[in-house]
Amino acid sequence: MSRLFEPLKIKTVTLRNRICVSPMCQYSTPDGVAGDWHMVHLGSRAVGGAGVVMVEASAVSPEGRITPDDLGIWSDRQAEALAPIVSFMQRFGAVCGIQIAHAGRKASTAAPFKGGHPLSSSEGSWQTLGPSAVPFGHYPAPRALEKTDLDKVKNDFRDAARRALSARFEILEIHLAHGYLLHSFLSPLSNRRTDEYGGSLENRMRFPLEVVRTVREIWPETLPLWVRISSTDWAEGGWDPDMSVELSRRLKSAGVDVIDASSGGLTPDAVIPVGPGYQTAIAARIRREADIPVVAVGMITDPVQAEHTLMTGQADLVSLAREMLRDPYWPLHAAHRLGQNVAWPAQYERAKPR
């Protein structure tokens, strides 16, 4: 039996295998409401056999969008549009997750395929928010959040969790990575606050942990709560793997079930040693030292590589992003490659390799 295709039970939810579709922004909706594209894109990956399909970063508020085209979860209408997509994916055996996010100081930009630049006022820019008025690279400086703003952000995350539940998602992932709002509280490079939310590691972790606890109050104990972190900023004086281990321990105590260990995104000039499985070693360290299940992500493309990552105890799950765009049926092909007999959708049964 391959480890990749061994089912995994987390809380009350059983995954048919250890393969996740990593959250990927589609920048394909003008109003944050999922549409045909999402049904086809996400649905294909459920049909393709993934254990978990994680819906892209979904903004908890309009100002928390990366771009005007982001998916949102700040209104009931947005949750209602996701519900039939979740239902379709479940029919094909996938467990559905959604990543809830606030882009912070990296908000108000154009979609990558529309240039990716910070929006001008004529393009409909909005005021971005951050722990401090420290800009991301050449982006406009964010407004530093005041105490009342922090309460609003917490409430937005809580309401997003409630809506995700109403759409029948079974996994909720909070986005603490890639330089977005919650990560920017963690990193000393973006958080220069002098109140109890800045300075020491303890203080910098305070707000993200408050958000996680607020969400955990709403998200049922029986369902898995995941957190995606950037395990390092890859930058001098920034967030690092030691801090990630400590944060992961705190997240575990706050009721988080799985750490999804990504990296980077906090500063545009980070030097990242990108290569096959380049983030896996830190995931393995978090798994070992914080004693919590982890997802390894980052240039995992080959079934044998994925199997090796799990067999060697480096991770509990693997998450694939770009490879899943190249091939939505990657899990079905991987099963064949690893000699596993998995069910194909009845409609495609005649194409199954024998």
- Of the residues 3, 17, 46, 56, which one makes contact with ligand FMN according to CB under 6 A: 56
User: What stretch of H or E contains 296?
Assistant: strand 294-297
299 touches ligand FMN by CB under 6 A: yes
Catalytic residue (choose from 27, 139, 180, 197): 180
Tell me, by CB under 6 A, how many residues bind ligand FMN: 20
Residue 154's φ and ψ, nearest 5 degrees, are: -60, -45
Residue 336: other Cβ atoms inside 10 A: 15
Footprint on residues 307-336 left by ligand FMN (CB under 6 A): 320-323
CB 277, min distance to ligand FMN, A: 9
Residue 320: other Cβ atoms inside 10 A: 24
Q: Which two tokens stand for residue 289?
A: 């030292």
Comparison of 172 and 300: residue with beta carbon closer to ligand FMN: 300
24 touches ligand FMN by CB under 6 A: yes
Work out the burial of residue 53: count CB atoms within 10 Å of its CB; fewer than 13 is exposed, 13-18 middle, 19 or more buried: buried
Q: Is 27 a catalytic residue?
A: no
181 CA to centre of own chain: 13
Q: Of the ranges 82-90, 162-170, 208-216, 293-301, which one interacts with ligand FMN (CB under 6 A)? A: 293-301
- Of the residues 2, 17, 22, 340, which one makes contact with ligand FMN according to CB under 6 A: 22
> Residue 75 contacts by C-beta under 8 Å, 6 or more apart in sequence?
32, 163
CB 188, min distance to ligand FMN, A: 22
CB 25, min distance to ligand FMN, A: 4
The CA distance from 351 to 34, in Å, is 31
57 touches ligand FMN by CB under 6 A: yes
Comparison of 272 and 338: residue with beta carbon closer to ligand FMN: 272
CB 151, min distance to ligand FMN, A: 25
- Of the residues 277, 298, 303, 328, which one makes contact with ligand FMN according to CB under 6 A: 298
Pairing status of strand 294-297 against strand 317-320: parallel
Q: Which residue's entry shows tokens 């001098």?
A: 236
Residue 346: other Cβ atoms inside 10 A: 7
258 touches ligand FMN by CB under 6 A: no
Comparison of 23 and 198: residue with beta carbon closer to ligand FMN: 23
Residue with the CB atom nearest ligand FMN in the bound state: 321
* Cβ contact 261:225 at 8 Å: no
- Report the first-to-last Cα separation within the chain, whole angstroms: 18
Residue 323's φ and ψ, nearest 5 degrees, are: -65, -30
CB 66, min distance to ligand FMN, A: 8
CB 109, min distance to ligand FMN, A: 13
Pairing status of strand 19-21 against strand 13-15: unpaired
- Of the residues 109, 214, 262, 280, which one makes contact with ligand FMN according to CB under 6 A: 262
Task: Show the site string, 79-118: x = touches ligand FMN by CB under 6 A, - = not.
Answer: --------------------x-------------------
233 touches ligand FMN by CB under 6 A: no
Q: Which residue's entry shows tokens 């390092």?
A: 232
Q: Which residue's entry shows tokens 């509280």?
A: 185
* DSSP codes, 287-315: HHHHT--EEEESS---HHHHHHHHHTTS-
DSSP structural state of residue 194? -
- Of the residues 34, 297, 306, 318, which one makes contact with ligand FMN according to CB under 6 A: 297
CB 178, min distance to ligand FMN, A: 6
| Residues paired with 331 in a beta bridge | none
The CA distance from 24 to 170, in Å, is 18
Q: List active site positions.
A: 180
Positions touching ligand FMN (CB under 6 A) are: 22-25, 56-57, 99, 175, 177-178, 228, 262, 297-300, 320-323
